[in-house]
Amino acid sequence: MKKIVIINGPNLNLLGSRETVLYGKESFDDVMVKLRMDFPKADLSYIQSNKESDIIEALHDASANGADGIVLNPAAFTHTSLAVADAVAAVSVPVVEVHISNVFAREPFRQQSFVSRYAAGVITGFGVKGYALAINFLCDST
């Protein structure tokens, strides 16, 4: 059984109610129910925080505690946090960077990612289905 940790950054606790045109109407709790149904042979855990330090600790902990892969939606930290990028570079497991919206169709500052260069791959613009794509990749490749 593959152990996959999903880490969501700032404001993703509001998924389903925040800017639904961009992010959809499903809460992440709803998304997790579907992911667990779709990947019954994966051990999926989920962490969300609005704090940069919590995201960094979650990355470190996932790596130290035997995760086979990490799905990371760093949200706004994508474009602002060298510390999160450094944490991704430092962990010993593959990290797939996921974005619900197509960041390349948005404001220019959202098209810059400090994280991408250290990620095993980047999935953007497929809505919450991007999480399933990332998990599928991690389950097949790790």
Q: How far is CA 49 from CA 9, 40, 55, 75, 101, in A?
A: 5, 25, 7, 10, 19
128 CB burial (10 A radius; 0-12, 13-18, 19+)? buried
Return the active site residues: 23, 99
SS (H, E, C) 19-35: CHHHHCCCCHHHHHHHH
